[in-house]
């Protein structure tokens, strides 16, 4: 087989790139390790920045998002029983969209299938060959048969555990990592959200987040130990702990119910540089990971796709490689700012096992400064709604 762009990974990054390229007449093939149902079964991000929303529009997949998503003008930050709002709209004249990554991915799959897009599921043993030559090709097996795709470029959209990043030689790659000493236990429940906006809660017992997917589907998280397993937590234990970490007036009105999904995500900050090696481009979680506190994971994947898409369109239009040659530098410039913000939000709101009394005082002072200082709130809001592409 031959294609112009071979895309490894059928998550939001790979599907969005394939859909955008298709609308410009650029051919791609998506190789996905799992089944579509498995990919759609992952419960992940919930907040879309303005830039991601615009990309969904440009990809022609925004109709259901426009119909079913929530627009949020701001968020609540609480510590103990104290709470205050950050009004993104007033501070930045920008809002965020609440629409689950699962729905984004579902819409993209539907669009690719409608357009006759080529997606190969259940692929195994994917190998990216000749990425540092002018004739790269990808080999893989499906149903026990070895296959080969010759292509102009390879987009590594295969997430943190994929093969793309590993294809870049160790003497070329530089990796930066910070692993946090806790995880997030998340549940999904068919209950009405506790508040019309998100509540990011800091408490002496640890962090909690009250989020949502729609008016009767809520997403809650509590900071948990890395040694915890989802089965260690009954629903009742989760709800009781969540109530201890959010303001009393929210805890009193919290509607609880059975969890329909329960999982633990580890938290890490991770970046690999460069994000290009020859004709291989890394996008999204294949190149970088953020702790989900700042809701930047999916949204930094989006800006990567924006840069790569425009670089490929420019190349196929007139052979100009300027966009491709500047991809890694441009993507990393925005990624590092998102890494900083995600690390800052995580440091601000979580309890760290080795925290000293002084560290706690600094955390409380940082929250008090954010509560009282306009410039601090503008800075937080500008990062949360998304820095420019």
Question: What are the phi and psi torsion angles at 195 (to 5°)?
Answer: -150, 155
Using CB under 6 A as the binding criterion, the count of chain residues that bind ligand PHB stands at: 10
Cα dihedral 270, 272, 275, 281, rounded to 10, equals -80
Three-class SS state of 311: helix
Contact flag: residue 46 with ligand PHB (CB under 6 A): yes
The site partner of 206 among ligand PHB, ligand FAS, none (C-beta below 5 to 8 Å per kind) is none
In the stretch 41-80, what mask flags binding to ligand FAS with x, by CB under 6 A? ---xx-----------------------------------
Three-class SS state of 253: helix
In the bound complex, what is the minimum distance in angstroms from residue 279's beta carbon to ligand FAS?
A: 18
The catalytic position among 109, 140, 153, 200 is 200
Contact flag: residue 247 with ligand FAS (CB under 6 A): no
Q: List binders of ligand PHB among 217-246 (CB under 6 A).
A: 219
Contact flag: residue 12 with ligand PHB (CB under 6 A): no
Contact flag: residue 8 with ligand FAS (CB under 6 A): yes
The catalytic position among 195, 262, 296, 350 is 296
361: annotated active-site residue: no
Sign of CA dihedral 296, 302, 305, 311: negative
> Judged by CB under 6 A, which stretch of 45-53, 140-148, 225-233, 256-264 contacts ligand PHB?
45-53
Contact flag: residue 123 with ligand FAS (CB under 6 A): yes
Contact flag: residue 53 with ligand PHB (CB under 6 A): no
Q: Quick one: DSSP state of residue 368?
A: H
Alpha carbons 121 and 36: distance in angstroms, whole number: 7
327: annotated active-site residue: no
Question: Residue number with the shortest CB distance to ligand PHB?
Answer: 46
Q: Quick one: DSSP state of residue 273?
A: E
153: annotated active-site residue: no
The catalytic position among 72, 195, 330, 350 is 72
> Taking the mean position of all CA atoms in its chain, how far away is CA 143?
31
Contact flag: residue 299 with ligand PHB (CB under 6 A): no
Q: Which is nearer to ligand PHB, 208 or 286 (CB)?
A: 208
195: annotated active-site residue: no
Alpha helix ranges (H) inside the chain: 12-22, 36-41, 50-58, 63-68, 88-92, 101-114, 164-167, 235-245, 248-253, 297-318, 322-325, 327-349, 357-372, 374-385
Q: Does residue 127 contact residue 6 with C-beta atoms inside 8 Å?
A: no
Q: Strand pairing of 28-31 and 2-8?
A: parallel
* Selected binder of ligand PHB within 131, 154, 295, 338 (CB under 6 A): 295
72: annotated active-site residue: yes
- Both structure tokens of 190: 């068919």
Contact flag: residue 101 with ligand FAS (CB under 6 A): yes
Alpha carbons 291 and 275: distance in angstroms, whole number: 20
Contact flag: residue 34 with ligand FAS (CB under 6 A): yes
Question: What are the phi and psi torsion angles at 174 (to 5°)?
Answer: -120, 130
Q: Quick one: DSSP state of residue 133?
A: S
Site residues, ligand PHB (CB under 6 A): 45-47, 198, 209, 211, 219, 292-293, 295
List residues with catalytic annotation.
Answer: 72, 200, 292, 296, 384
Point out which residues bind ligand FAS (CB under 6 A).
8-14, 31-34, 39, 44-45, 101, 123, 126, 157-159, 161-163, 265, 284-285, 292, 295-298, 301
């Amino acid at each position: 087989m031959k294609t112009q762009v071979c895309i490894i990974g059928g998550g939001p990054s790979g599907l969005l790139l394939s859909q955008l390229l298709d609308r410009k007449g650029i051919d791609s093939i998506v190789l996905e390790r799992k089944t579509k149902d498995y990919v759609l079964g992952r419960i992940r991000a919930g907040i879309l920045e303005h830039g991601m929303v615009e990309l969904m529009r440009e990809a022609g997949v925004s109709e259901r998002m426009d119909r079913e998503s929530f627009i949020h003008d701001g968020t609540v930050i609480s510590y103990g029983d104290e709470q205050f709002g950050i009004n993104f709209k007033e501070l930045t004249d920008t809002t965020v969209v609440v629409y689950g990554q699962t729905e984004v991915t579902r819409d993209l799959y539907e669009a690719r299938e409608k357009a006759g897009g080529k997606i190969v599921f259940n692929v195994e043993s994917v190998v990216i060959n000749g990425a540092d030559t002018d004739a790269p090709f990808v080999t893989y097996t499906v149903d026990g048969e070895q296959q080969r795709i010759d292509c102009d470029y390879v987009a590594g959209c295969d997430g943190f555990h994929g093969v793309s990043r590993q294809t870049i030689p160790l003497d070329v790659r530089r990796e930066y990592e910070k692993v946090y000493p806790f995880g997030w236990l998340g549940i999904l429940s068919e209950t009405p959200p506790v508040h019309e906006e998100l509540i990011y809660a800091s408490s002496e017992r640890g962090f909690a987040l009250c989020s949502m997917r729609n008016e009767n589907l809520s997403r809650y998280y509590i900071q948990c130990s890395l040694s915890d397993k989802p089965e260690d937590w009954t629903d009742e234990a989760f709800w009781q702990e969540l109530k201890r970490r959010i303001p009393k007036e929210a805890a009193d009105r919290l509607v609880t119910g059975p969890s329909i999904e329960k999982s633990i995500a580890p938290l890490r900050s991770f970046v690999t540089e460069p994000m290009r090696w020859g004709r291989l481009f890394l996008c999204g979680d294949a190149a970088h990971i953020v702790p989900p506190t700042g809701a930047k994971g999916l949204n930094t994947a989006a800006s990567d796709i924006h840069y790569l898409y425009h670089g490929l369109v420019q190349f196929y239009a007139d052979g100009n490689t300027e966009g491709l040659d500047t991809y890694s530098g441009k993507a990393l410039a925005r990624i590092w700012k998102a890494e900083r913000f995600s690390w800052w939000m995580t440091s601000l709101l979580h309890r760290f096992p080795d925290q000293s009394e002084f560290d706690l005082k600094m955390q409380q002072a940082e929250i008090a400064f954010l509560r009282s200082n306009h410039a601090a709130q503008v800075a937080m809001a500008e990062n949360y709604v998304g820095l420019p592409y």
